């Protein structure tokens, strides 16, 4: 078993869940380039390597495509089925009920389009795992950002008109092991429950005991380059693995980070 992108937050979680795997960081294999010659015949590839800078992809669509599409094709060249980790951003967010596997994608952003095209670049017989709003104790993610900002500020402005399914990477990694026992194809695997970014921020501060107010703003007020779906909750109509509620994932993540309630305020 081979893991790509093992230096990222999902890749690290997968390496913990699958200690038997060969876990390669970007320094060991930049997937935008062909695979190193030493990689000969893996049985399955957990393809976590990805361009995840949503706004940066708007400025560098070729760079994003080189990783998310070309990188997937390079992984597929090894001949093994992939577990390709995709995103809720393949949907446009115009509906107000959860998206299931049979719903037609319509990405709004360059990032979403490159991830959708990456799905098509995976080998036949691969697992396409769409998840959402990933967070964990390592890497760049919303939870770690809020903890840093909340420690320095009395108030943070957070978007309250985007709703999704926050997903703890350790829960997604554990579900991946279960998925490997199921038929390939598209699977939606995301944290239970749903919330807005502002609601998630408030839960982070509450769980960490940080005295920081959340000022709820609109996506338009934030003014980010890449459009995001207003509603992108994911659920499985195929009987996919059920992940714990996002609040449980947040609690476990804060514990891993060693966050002590009452440290400030």
Q: Quick one: which of 250, 255, 176, 143 has its CA closest to 16?
A: 176
- Mind listing the pLDDT tens digit for each residue in 169-202? 999 999 999 999 999 999 999 999 999 999 999 9
- CATH no., domain 2-257: 3.40.50.720
Instruction: Summarize the confidence of residues 128-143 as an average pLDDT.
Output: 95
Position 41 scores a pLDDT of 81
Does residue 260 carry a pLDDT above 80? Answer: no
pTM of the prediction? 0.94
In the structure encoding, which two tokens stand for residue 265, read together?
């305020």
Classify residue 29 as exposed, middle or buried by CB count within 10 Å of its CB (0-12, 13-18, 19+).
Answer: buried
Does residue 17 carry a pLDDT above 60? Answer: yes
Domain boundaries, the chain: 2-257
The residue annotated as part of the active site, out of 89, 111, 168, 231, is 111
Place of tokens 């399914």: 165
Task: Enumerate the β-bridge partners of residue 48.
Answer: none
Q: Residue 262: which pLDDT band, with cuts at 50, 70 and 90?
A: very low
In the structure encoding, which two tokens stand for residue 153, read together?
């500020």
Position 261 scores a pLDDT of 64
Residue 111 annotated as catalytic: yes
Lowest mean pLDDT of 35-39, 84-88, 98-102, 167-171, name the range.
35-39
Does residue 37 carry a pLDDT above 90? Answer: no
Instruction: Summarize the confidence of residues 161-174 as an average pLDDT.
Output: 98
Angle at 186 between CA 181 and CA 191, to 5 degrees: 80
Does residue 80 carry a pLDDT above 80? Answer: yes
């Amino acid at each position: 078993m081979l893991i790509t992108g093992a230096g990222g937050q999902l890749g690290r979680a997968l390496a913990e869940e699958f200690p038997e795997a060969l876990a390669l960081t970007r320094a060991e294999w930049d997937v935008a380039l062909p695979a190193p010659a030493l990689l000969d015949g893996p049985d399955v590839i957990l393809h976590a390597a990805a361009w995840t800078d949503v706004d940066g992809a708007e400025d560098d669509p070729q760079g994003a495509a080189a990783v998310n599409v070309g990188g997937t094709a390079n992984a597929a060249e090894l001949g093994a089925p992939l577990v390709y980790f995709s995103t809720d951003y393949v949907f446009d967010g115009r509906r107000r009920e959860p998206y299931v596997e049979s719903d037609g994608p319509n990405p709004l952003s360059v990032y979403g389009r490159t991830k959708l095209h990456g799905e098509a670049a995976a080998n036949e017989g691969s697992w396409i795992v769409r998840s959402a709003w990933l967070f964990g104790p390592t890497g760049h993610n919303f939870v770690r950002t809020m903890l840093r900002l909340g420690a320095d500020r009395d108030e943070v402005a957070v978007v309250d008109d985007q709703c999704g399914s926050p997903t703890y990477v350790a829960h997604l990694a554990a579900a991946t092991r279960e998925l490997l026992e199921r038929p390939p194809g598209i699977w939606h695997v995301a944290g239970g429950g749903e919330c807005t970014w502002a609601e998630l921020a408030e839960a982070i501060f509450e769980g960490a005991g940080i005295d920081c107010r959340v000022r709820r703003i609109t996506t338009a007020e934030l003014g980010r380059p890449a459009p995001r779906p207003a509603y992108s909750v994911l659920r499985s109509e195929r009987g996919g693995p059920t992940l714990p509620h996002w609040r449980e994932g947040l609690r476990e993540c804060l514990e891993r980070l060693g966050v002590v309630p009452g440290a400030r305020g």
